[in-house]
A and B are shown apart, each in its own frame.
Chain A
Amino acid sequence: VTVRAPGKSLALHLAVLGMLFVIQFVLPAYHHTNVARILVLAAYALGYNVLLGYTGLMSLGHAMFFAAGMYGAGLPVYYLGLAGAGAMALGIIAGVALAFLFGLVALRTSGVSFLIVSLMVAQALYLASLHFNEITLGDQGFIVSLGLTEAAKYNAALALFAAALLACLALRLSPVGRVLVAIRENEERTRLLGYDSFRYRLLSLVVSGGIAAAAGAAYTLLFSYAGSTFASILFSIYPLLWTLLGGVGTLLGPLVGTGLMFYLVDYASSLTSAYLLLVGIALVVLVLWFPQGILGTMRARWLPWLP
């Protein structure tokens, strides 16, 4: 599937980013913080979508990349008092390195086997973050504070999201992105055309893990907390849910899905402690009736040019 009208889609994405910049001046304080969080988490979902939406590999272990970014950035700040930018870079490096090593081994499998391998490795690393709790402080986690203002946090989150979005758009429009989609559609045929599918899959995993790690690092630096919870299975399932809800393989889907689910869970958790019920129902409903998600359905019905 080629992307039609790249100019039109670029304009749309810039308009969305512009709108996200403008609304920070009108949002009430509570929603201001929420939207900043949503932007960081949406960047995480964007990273997830690179692997699932473009390359067609479903992972149940992306929390390990998010957590790699989180600890890669958080630990140096906590123990060494490193500054924000350096910590961010370390977080991304940690995630990219993990994704590369994991990919070298795990990408020898695909489909359901890959899914289970990613689940197992992520679970092992989650347990490791509990086991080495003298360093990571385990479940309890630790607090890092860079003393940023709310406006600085919002704009940093927006900058991260914009960078991730434009990177994904560029990847999607590039020849490399087309090879990734070709692998999703028919890996055998892509290989016969002379593309080394392993290298392309590894590339997409590294990009995906790198973006997820950047989101994890930003989450810790902006919202001042790192803990094992973010490495647990639930945080591997969340990006899957957000991406499915918004639309797998669409560029703005992860933002839509993350925003919607964030507010739904936020509202439900004020009503009941069993708010994860919503997550379960959403997953079943999506997979049964809306496998293309919100934007995927819109694209199929009305907006064929949507990237």
Chain B
Amino acid sequence: VVSAFVLALTALGLSLVFGVMRIVNVAHGEFFMLGAVLAWACASVVAHPLAGFAAALVVAPLLVGAVALAADRLILRRLDYHPEGTIVATIGLLYILQQAVLTLYGPDARPVASPFYFTVAFPWFGYSGYKLLVGLFSATLLAGAWLVLTRTRLGLYMRAAQQDLEMAQAFGVPARRVYAAVFALGAMLAALAGVLVVPIEQAHYLMGLDPLLLSFIVVVLGGLGNLRGTLLAAFLVGISDGVVSVFFSPTLAKIVATLLVAAVLVVKPSGLFAQERS
């Protein structure tokens, strides 16, 4: 269940970027990986596990957000967010980030100590306190993202830019700044997910690929470009045990899931949770 929340966070970042900017960010998994590696870095600088964890929760999203802003400014904006061009560019970005981490951090998988150890004892089973915290924290973030999207001016801008960019610009939506903000926000969500996952899994420079593919699955199920649908799907897929067991089960289940998603994309490109656009 915990990894489900983490997946929901990662996928939400990807679907935000796809929904608003209409681009597929292949480097999204690397933002997740960067978050995890930065969490390890914080833990090795700050001695106390809890303080290190808290530092990572602040440092990782900020640094990764800065990387994303730079990528948006230097690469994506110059391409004018051309769909296929940005895919090629973000594949390039994937390798640049991944190999930079390989150079600076090395090829080993490194563990990070859990910030605290206690077990919440339910009447019928015990549950790790950290995992419970991750669940709560992710749920809060997801709810927060939903609120930002539906209740704030930035969310309004995002939805306007998604529905009709030209019309939105005509009404004074600062599209470039919204795009930059969305791209950074998406990356920060992935980085937070990386920080949260690293006491459970280990930090490794190749760890970005699995969350990337899983996020693709979520975004496709939710409907390409359907913002509310993808948010809903990220949440539903994230908390449904079925898909999570796919994440950790043998290869065969992954094969079936991947083919299913391809089939959804072909047969029902608007996604499983398609709904009327308001």
Chain A contacts to B: CB under 8 angstroms:
58, 60, 105-106, 108-109, 111-113, 115-117, 119-121, 123-124, 127-128, 130-131, 233, 237, 240, 244, 272-277, 279-284, 286-288, 291
Contact = CB atoms under 8 A, between A and B. Distances in A.
A115 B250 CA distance: 26
Contacts of A109: 265-266, 269
Contacts of A123: 213, 258
B87 A277 contact: no
Interface of B: 24, 75, 78-79, 83-85, 87-89, 91-100, 102-103, 107, 209, 213, 216, 220, 224, 250-252, 254-255, 258-259, 261-263, 265-266, 269
Complex A-B, nearest 9 residue pairs according to Cβ-Cβ distance, in ascending order: A280-B95, A283-B92, A277-B99, A284-B92, A280-B96, A120-B262, A274-B99, A124-B258, A131-B251
A133 B77 CA distance: 44
17 contacts: A58-B87, A105-B266, A109-B266, A111-B83, A112-B24, A116-B220, A116-B262, A120-B261, A120-B262, A127-B254, A127-B258, A131-B255, A277-B103, A284-B89, A286-B88, A287-B92, A288-B79
B84 A112 contact: yes
A58 B255 contact: no
Given A123-B213, A287-B85, A277 B95 contact: yes
Contact of A272 (B96, B103, B224, B252): B103
A284 B96 CA distance: 9
Given A58-B87, A120-B265, A288-B78, A277 B96 contact: yes
Contacts of B96: 277, 280-281, 284
A105 B261 CA distance: 13
A283 B91 contact: yes
Contacts of B213: 123
Given A58-B84, A112-B24, A280 B92 contact: yes
A121 B102 CA distance: 28
Nearest to A284: B92
Contact of A124 (B24, B99, B255): B255
A274 B85 contact: no
Contact of A106 (B88, B89, B262): B262
Given A116-B24, A284-B75, 6 more contacts: A120-B259, A124-B262, A128-B255, A131-B255, A240-B91, A273-B102
A240 B262 contact: no
A125 B91 CA distance: 21
Nearest to B258: A124
B216 A115 contact: no
B224 A113 contact: yes
Contacts of A240: 88, 91
A136 to B, nearest CB: 12
B79 A276 contact: no
Given A128-B255, A276-B98, A113 B269 contact: yes
Contact of B102 (A113, A274, A282): A274
Contacts of B252: 131
Contacts of A237: 91
Nearest to A102: B262
Nearest to A237: B91
A286 B103 CA distance: 23
A283 B251 contact: no
B258 A120 contact: yes
Contact of B265 (A113, A272, A275, A284): A113
B262 A121 contact: yes
Contacts of A112: 24, 83-84, 87, 224
Contacts of B216: 116, 119-120
Contacts of A116: 24, 216, 220, 262, 265
Nearest to A272: B103
Contacts of B89: 283-284, 287-288
Contact of A127 (B91, B251, B266): B251
A282 B89 CA distance: 9
Contacts of A279: 92, 95
Contacts of A106: 262, 266
A104 to B, nearest CB: 10
A89 B131 CA distance: 55
B231 to A, nearest CB: 19
Query: Considering residues A106, A108, A119, A244, which has the most beta carbons from chain B within 10 angstroms of its beta carbon?
Result: A119
Contact of B95 (A105, A115, A276): A276
B109 to A, nearest CB: 16
A49 to B, nearest CB: 15
A107 to B, nearest CB: 9
Contacts of B83: 111-112
Contacts of A291: 85
A60 B94 CA distance: 14
Contacts of B97: 280
Contacts of B99: 274-277, 280
Nearest to B89: A287
B88 A124 contact: no
A121 B251 contact: no
Contacts of B269: 109, 113
Contacts of B78: 288
Given A127-B251, A130-B251, A277-B100, A121 B259 contact: yes
